[in-house]
């Protein structure tokens, strides 16, 4: 689903693209998804921009919050991803708090263990989950667009694979037998929640 906060958002012109994220894993995925289309992805981390506190209650709200902050800091169109893991038996948790479950400093093995412990405590045999991504673009003239993507699957334990990042080692996408953490990055980039959101963005802003 695309949520456009402008009747006809401008096209994204290949060239420098500001990714409003400090997550190195996300930056690498965004580079893999956008650079083949002529973009040079530069992150907020590269530019030393402050990371705003994520105070919204939805992925879309937090994606817009981060993109707006980066746009204001640089005066350039800014792209921001907000994403996370939503576990059915946990009522959608950790959801927008996916990174916070990893604590400070970030330790996603701890986060994955926390999810596993919560699943056991729930008493549910349902291990279905999905990754959710909201990809926001904000232009200096105030126009905004948001594109959403999801990938559904099952959680496994123990974690498998050292590729990807975040919760990838415990997530097996529907129709697959290996985790995102075991999967070749190109294969993951073709099916991930982020890839789905980028596909919708490209269809609207790059067509």
Cβ atoms of residues 195 and 33 within 8 Å? yes
Per-residue pLDDT of the chain (207 residues; tens, 9 = 90+): 445 444 567 888 888 889 998 888 888 888 888 888 888 899 998 888 988 999 999 999 999 999 999 999 988 889 998 999 999 999 999 999 999 999 998 999 999 999 999 999 999 999 999 999 999 999 988 999 999 999 999 999 999 999 989 999 999 999 999 999 999 998 998 999 998 998 999 889 885
Cβ atoms of residues 12 and 206 within 8 Å? yes
Instruction: Give the global pTM.
Output: 0.86
Fold of 2-206: Maf protein (3.90.950)
* Ramachandran angles phi, psi of 19, nearest 5°: -100, 115
The pLDDT of residue 6 is 46
* DSSP assigned state of 156: -
Query: Domain boundaries in the chain?
Result: 2-206
Place of tokens 């990371």: 51
* DSSP assigned state of 159: -
**Annotated active-site positions, please?**
82
The pLDDT of residue 148 is 96
The pLDDT of residue 7 is 55
């Amino acid at each position: 689903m695309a949520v456009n906060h402008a009747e006809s958002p401008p096209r994204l012109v290949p060239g420098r693209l500001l990714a409003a994220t400090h997550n190195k894993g996300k930056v690498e995925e965004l580079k893999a998804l956008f650079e083949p289309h002529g973009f040079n992805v530069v992150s907020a981390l590269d530019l030393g921009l402050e990371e705003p506190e994520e105070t919204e209650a939805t992925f879309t709200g937090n994606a817009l919050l981060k993109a707006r902050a980066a746009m204001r800091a640089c005066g350039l169109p800014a792209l921001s991803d907000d994403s996370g893991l939503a576990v059915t038996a946990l009522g959608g948790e950790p959801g927008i708090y996916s990174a916070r479950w990893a604590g400070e400093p970030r330790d996603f093995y701890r986060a994955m263990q926390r999810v596993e412990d919560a699943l056991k405590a729930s008493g549910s045999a349902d291990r279905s989950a999905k990754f959710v991504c909201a990809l926001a673009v904000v232009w200096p003239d105030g126009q905004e667009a948001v594109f959403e993507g999801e990938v559904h699957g099952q959680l496994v334990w123990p974690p498998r694979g050292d590729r990807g990042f975040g919760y990838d080692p415990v997530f097996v996408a529907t129709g697959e037998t290996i985790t995102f953490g075991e999967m070749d990055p190109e294969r993951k980039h073709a099916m991930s929640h982020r890839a789905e959101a980028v596909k919708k963005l490209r269809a609207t802003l790059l067509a």
